[in-house]
Amino acid sequence: MLRNYLKTTWRSLLKNRVFSLINILGLSIGLTACLLILQYVTHELSYDNFHQQKEDIYRIQQNRFNKGILTTQWAAGCAGIGPALKENFPEVKAFVKLHGGEGVISYKDNRFRENRAYYATETFFQVFSYPLISGVDSLVLNRPNTVVLSESTAKKYFNEEDPIGKRIKHNGHVEYEVTGIFKDVPENTHMKFDLLFSFDTYVALTNERALTAWNWDGFYTYIQLASGTDHKTFENKLPAFVEQQQGEALRQYSADVQFLLQPIDDIHLSPNYMGEFEPNSDRKTTFFLLIVAFFIMVIAWINYINLATAKSLERAREVGIRKVMGSFRRQLIRQFLFESCLLNVMAVFLAIAFVILLLPAFNQLTGKTLTFSLFAQLDFWLALIALFLVGSFLSGLYPSLVLSGFRPIAVLKGKFKTSSRGTSLRKGLVIFQFFSSVILIAGTYAVYQQITFMKSQDLGVEVDKTLVVRAPNVTDSTYNDKFSAFKNELLNISAISKVASSTAVPGRQPGWNAGGIRRVHEDESQSNQYRVIGVDYDFKDAFQLEVLAGRNFSKEFGTDRETVLFNQSATKLMGFKTIEEALGEDIFFWGDTFRIVGVLKDYHQESLKKSFEPLIFRLIPGARPYYSIKLNANNPWETISQIQSRWNFFFTDDPFEYFFLDDHYNQQYQADLQFGRVFGTFSSLAIFIACLGLFGLTSFMAVQKTKEIGIRKVMGATVSNILSLLLKDFTRLVLVAVMIAIPVSWWMINNWLERFAYKIGLSWWLFAIPGLLVMMIALLTASYQTIKSSLANPVDSLRYE
């Protein structure tokens, strides 16, 4: 029987080559899209799943409030929370604390700037499952001046030498003994690092407050709870503990702090908090791609159902004869389900081949480094088999029920007609296809419009033609003299107009976050938090910031070290009714008094996703770690070479590293751009699959109406008349799909845009253009076969049977 089914199916495929090709191609493209998206989503969901104790590891995420208003959300919070929890709660089995330690690392003649370096407590390798190649997990970081290197970092500095016991220098003066080597951290971890220094060294370099301070932020804290502890129950205990430990001090400044527990395998898809190791992905975006994959697969299955049921007239006589010869309905159902399975098997193998060929391009599209590791996982093959079985059954069940249900007497007498229910179902499925297509196109269009809008807005700060050089790590008294001489040398280059130094540059949130700032005549309850940027005299002019009131820092005033500049938002936060009112006002800033001498116009320090933040600018000549160099030449590469030669003269121990500020600023939109590209690509695939089905359906409908077309042409109908006759039904269906899709797409786009402080308006053309585009694509797809049929010789049409 199986051999008979195979023969029958193969003959049917060969007899209907075009329809078979459309079905197989549509299914394989749908499966390819599903597999690629599944690969991407699986990778995103796999972050930090490799930790053996992941169920019990949580990051302490910190929120700081001022007067009940949430002002800062830290990924790296206060220094003292980890030890305090370990000491006071038996549920806390262990804690790990980290702090940034980037700088220049040197060994003999090898010298590199390492941006992924951190100080870590000795429990690090006991809590996290980053395997050590050399060293003991509990010993490698248990004393001062020790360091653990990644495998690739050790190779970079020591080549084939054994690194253990060797000594490297950090920023030219602090020596560390290499006590361990760990495997390079995997791609799917939120915590990217290449070097870990012992935290005891950081305490020795700073002070003991790095162990216990509650008002010193910037420390990553992770805790391991005892097995079986409910983290939400534990989290609910923290407000009372904070009140007990710091309640009085927090109330003194009208401030509050909240600690939340983030499961370690949940961090990568959480919002981006201040101080993240690297930008996180977006949970909604990730799961939305799954919905896109579902739409694509459903559209492919709809094609199969539509084409199989539309061809039911051709197979009616086959079914009638089989029934007369003794076939039972269940046998016919099995046969047509077998056909569906065979088509899906062909599509699966073709899809796997497509995935293998397209994965490198998909990696480039998503910015990820995906491998074929998914194919080695049992879960993947179980999911693929389930998708295959469900798809084969669902797409083949309705056509098999329709075909096997024909009455042999009516069929053989030629009295068979398609049912209104079958026609209605096909129309409903076509509407769903183009409903999905309109939503996908509208979504893609909205993403690109929003990104274009953000990139085209006036930032209020000049980021073009700006080269930013990472400042050296000179720590002795010669730094100011060296920097001044270096700056003068650069200004002698005709292609350079300005050089400014600062603690932050546009494109990222300033890392300096200061609380307790208030007017000197106010009490502590009136204090607030501000972002602070240390700048030199030329920062304002280099970035073309506008002074709305007062003046800029100037060397003409010998006391400017005791002055500050505010932006507009900062004056509002401090309670000034006008910007002029702020001028000359003295403020309390961490035990010192500063006078406001100028107010700058608000500018976008970060992307337009966020509103303006209150910024305070402090005068710090030679501020680090950024030197911003304004170029006025069209070819910057020669100028960069001149800058580097002068750098090598003044800062011989530091590598020359730079980036262009406009590229740095636009990196904030990189995730949205990648989402737009991925979304657009798969939207195009969905539309292509839908058009494949529409092409097959119109081809078949044209064949069914061959004799009618011939009669109408004999009676005087024109090509346009016949074209209108054949296309009007499809036009109605697409119009219905567009009308249903518009409110749905409006709701989805509006929800997505809520993430942005500055966003596009939802104008009518945002939905009209996708609707017209889908209409045009559908009509062009359907017109080919209908025009071909309407141009045929009516004599041949009348002979057709």
Q: Which of 192, 68, 77 is nearest to 128 (CA)?
A: 192
pLDDT, tens digit (0-9, with 9 covering 90-100), for 765-780: 888 888 888 878 777 7
pLDDT at site 775:
79
| Residue 85 in this model has a pLDDT that exceeds 80 | yes
Compare 27 and 223 and report the one with higher pLDDT: 223
| Residue 421 in this model has a pLDDT that exceeds 60 | no
Q: Are residue 22 and residue 61 in the same domain, yes or no?
A: no
Type of residue numbered 746 = W
Contacts of 336 (CB under 8 A, 6+ apart): 308, 396, 399, 400, 403, 404
Give one DSSP letter per residue of 773-784, joined into a string: HHHHHHHHHHHH
Q: Are residue 116 and residue 210 in the same domain, yes or no?
A: yes
| Residue 748 in this model has a pLDDT that exceeds 50 | yes
For residue 481, give both structure tokens.
């003299």
Is residue 416 very low, low, confident or very high in pLDDT (cuts 50, 70, 90)? Answer: very low
Q: Are residue 620 and residue 700 in the same domain, yes or no?
A: no
Q: Are residue 24 and residue 82 in the same domain, yes or no?
A: no
The strand pairing partners of 514, in sequence order, are 530
379 domain-assigned: yes
Q: Can you tell me the mean pLDDT for 532-537? A: 94
Q: Tell me the residue ranges of DSSP E strands in 471-585.
A: 496-502, 512-519, 528-535, 547-550, 563-567
The residue with tokens 């000179």 is: 474
Cα distance between residue 395 and residue 25, in whole Å: 15
Contacts of 287 (CB under 8 A, 6+ apart): 41
Task: Specify the DSSP element, H or E, that contains 439.
Answer: helix 420-456
Contacts of 430 (CB under 8 A, 6+ apart): 302, 306, 693, 694, 697, 730, 733, 737
Q: Are residue 510 and residue 630 in the same domain, yes or no?
A: yes
Q: Can you tell me the mean pLDDT for 301-306? A: 74
Cα distance between residue 783 and residue 724, in whole Å: 10
pLDDT at site 58:
97
Cα distance between residue 64 and residue 249, in whole Å: 14
Q: Are residue 583 and residue 692 in the same domain, yes or no?
A: no
pLDDT at site 605:
92
Asked if residues 669 and 507 have their Cβ atoms less than 8 Å apart, the reply is no
Q: Which of 306, 542, 314, 342 is nearest to 429 (CA)?
A: 306
The residue with tokens 């529409």 is: 694
Q: Are residue 201 and residue 230 in the same domain, yes or no?
A: yes
Verdict on whether the full-model pTM lies above 0.85: no
Indicate the burial class of 407 (C-beta count within 10 angstroms; 0-12, 13-18, 19 or more).
middle
For residue 558, give both structure tokens.
């010998």
Compare 583 and 3 and report the one with higher pLDDT: 583
pLDDT, tens digit (0-9, with 9 covering 90-100), for 592-643: 899 999 999 999 998 888 889 899 999 999 898 999 999 987 788 889 999 9
What is the DSSP secondary structure assignment for residue 418, as one 8-state letter? -
277 domain-assigned: no
| Residue 275 in this model has a pLDDT that exceeds 90 | no
278 domain-assigned: no
pLDDT at site 410:
52
pLDDT at site 780:
76
Asked if residues 368 and 674 have their Cβ atoms less than 8 Å apart, the reply is no
3-state secondary structure 175-218: EEEEEEEECCCCCCCCCCCCEEEEHHHHHHHCCCHHHHCCCCCC
| Peptide bond connecting 625 to the previous residue in cis, omega within 30 degrees of 0 | yes
Q: Which of 131, 142, 129, 152 is nearest to 179 (CA)?
A: 142
Cα distance between residue 735 and residue 739, in whole Å: 6
pLDDT, tens digit (0-9, with 9 covering 90-100), for 144-198: 999 999 999 999 999 989 999 999 999 888 999 999 999 999 999 999 999 999 9
Cα distance between residue 370 and residue 360, in whole Å: 8
Q: Are residue 36 and residue 175 in the same domain, yes or no?
A: no
**How many contiguous H segments (helices) and E segments (strands) does the chain have?**
26, 24
Is residue 97 very low, low, confident or very high in pLDDT (cuts 50, 70, 90)? Answer: very high
The residue with tokens 């910057």 is: 636
Type of residue numbered 583 = L
Most confident of the following: 65-69, 332-336, 441-445: 441-445
Asked if residues 137 and 125 have their Cβ atoms less than 8 Å apart, the reply is yes
320 domain-assigned: yes
Cα distance between residue 448 and residue 462, in whole Å: 23
pLDDT, tens digit (0-9, with 9 covering 90-100), for 551-570: 999 988 877 788 999 999 99
Q: Which of 189, 221, 217, 213 is nearest to 60 (CA)?
A: 221
Pairing of strands 512-519, 528-535: antiparallel
Task: Please name the residue ranges forming H helices in 653-754.
Answer: 661-666, 670-704, 706-714, 719-753
Type of residue numbered 28 = S
| Residue 719 in this model has a pLDDT that exceeds 90 | no
Q: Which of 469, 508, 491, 733 is nearest to 609 (CA)?
A: 508
Type of residue numbered 575 = G
Cα distance between residue 591 and residue 597, in whole Å: 19
**Domain closes at, from 617, 638, 667:** 667
Q: Are residue 629 and residue 679 in the same domain, yes or no?
A: no
Cα distance between residue 347 and residue 384, in whole Å: 12
Q: Are residue 438 and residue 477 in the same domain, yes or no?
A: no
Cα distance between residue 760 and residue 456, in whole Å: 12
Cα distance between residue 611 and residue 599, in whole Å: 18
State the chain's mean pLDDT as an integer: 83
Cα distance between residue 31 and residue 20, in whole Å: 16
The residue with tokens 């989503």 is: 41
241 domain-assigned: yes
Pairing of strands 57-66, 496-502: unpaired
- Three-state SS for 101? coil
* Whole-number percent of the chain with pLDDT over 90: 36
Compare 456 and 234 and report the one with higher pLDDT: 234
Asked if residues 746 and 762 have their Cβ atoms less than 8 Å apart, the reply is yes
Cα distance between residue 273 and residue 122, in whole Å: 26
Contacts of 483 (CB under 8 A, 6+ apart): 471, 501, 622
Contacts of 311 (CB under 8 A, 6+ apart): 16, 19, 700
The strand pairing partners of 260, in sequence order, are 61
Cα distance between residue 364 and residue 6, in whole Å: 41
Phi, psi (deg, nearest 5) at residue 46: -85, -5
700 domain-assigned: yes
Phi, psi (deg, nearest 5) at residue 73: -115, 110
Q: Which domain holds residue 609?
A: 466-667
Contacts of 411 (CB under 8 A, 6+ apart): 316, 317, 319, 320
274 domain-assigned: no
The residue with tokens 């749905």 is: 744
Phi, psi (deg, nearest 5) at residue 281: -85, 175
| Residue 86 in this model has a pLDDT that exceeds 90 | yes
Choice among 143-152, 316-325, 571-580 with the minimum mean pLDDT:
316-325
Indicate the burial class of 717 (C-beta count within 10 angstroms; 0-12, 13-18, 19 or more).
middle
| Residue 312 in this model has a pLDDT that exceeds 60 | no
For residue 636, give both structure tokens.
């910057």
pLDDT at site 729:
72
Q: Which of 415, 301, 219, 323 is nearest to 33 (CA)?
A: 301
Q: Which of 54, 385, 362, 57 is nearest to 224 (CA)?
A: 57
Q: Are residue 375 and residue 483 in the same domain, yes or no?
A: no
Asked if residues 533 and 503 have their Cβ atoms less than 8 Å apart, the reply is yes
pLDDT, tens digit (0-9, with 9 covering 90-100), for 193-240: 999 999 999 999 998 999 999 888 889 999 999 999 999 999 999 999
**Domain closes at, from 626, 643, 667:** 667
Type of residue numbered 437 = S
Type of residue numbered 790 = S
* First-residue to last-residue Cα distance in the chain: 32
**Domain closes at, from 209, 240, 266:** 266
What is the DSSP secondary structure assignment for residue 602, as one 8-state letter? P
Asked if residues 487 and 669 have their Cβ atoms less than 8 Å apart, the reply is no
Q: Are residue 440 and residue 476 in the same domain, yes or no?
A: no
Is residue 681 very low, low, confident or very high in pLDDT (cuts 50, 70, 90)? Answer: confident
pLDDT at site 349:
85
Distances (CA, A) of 776 to 39, 449, 735, 782, 783: 33, 21, 11, 10, 10
Q: Can you tell me the mean pLDDT for 528-551? A: 92
Contacts of 734 (CB under 8 A, 6+ apart): 434, 774, 775, 778, 779
pLDDT at site 404:
55
- Return the sign of the alpha-carbon dihedral for residues 292, 293, 299, 302: negative
Distances (CA, A) of 732 to 48, 391, 698, 717, 773: 50, 29, 14, 22, 15
229 domain-assigned: yes
Q: What is the total count of domains within the chain?
A: 3
